[in-house]
């Protein structure tokens, strides 16, 4: 079991929707299921990287409705 890093300051982007699409991404926060599961043990720099990816995923998701 991995140790939770209590010095992390990056907050979870969870919005309590937790509905996953076929790609395994949450339609609330746009994290992948594996990212959600590991969030509490990730370092801040890893969380920041995930948040950058979730921004791209969110934009791509909404852009897909514009086509």
Q: Where are the domains of the chain?
A: 13-67
> Does pLDDT of 7 surpass 90?
no
The full length of the chain comes to 67
Quick one: pLDDT band at residue 59, thresholds 50, 70, 90? very high
Provide the b/e sequence for 27-57 (b: ≥16 CB within 10 Å). Answer: eebbbbeebbeebeebeeebbeebbeebeeb
Asked if the model's pLDDT at residue 67 lies above 80, the reply is no
Indicate the pTM of the whole model.
0.82
CB atoms within 10 A of CB 26: 21
Residue 58, pLDDT > 90, answer yes
Q: How many percent of the chain have pLDDT more than 70?
A: 87
């Amino acid at each position: 079991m991995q140790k939770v890093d209590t010095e992390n300051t990056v907050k979870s982007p969870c919005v309590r929707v937790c509905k996953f699409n076929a790609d395994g991404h949450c339609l609330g926060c746009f994290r992948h299921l594996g990212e959600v599961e590991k969030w509490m043990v990730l370092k801040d720099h890893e969380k920041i990287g995930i948040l950058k990816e979730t921004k791209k995923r969110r934009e791509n998701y909404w852009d897909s409705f514009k086509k």
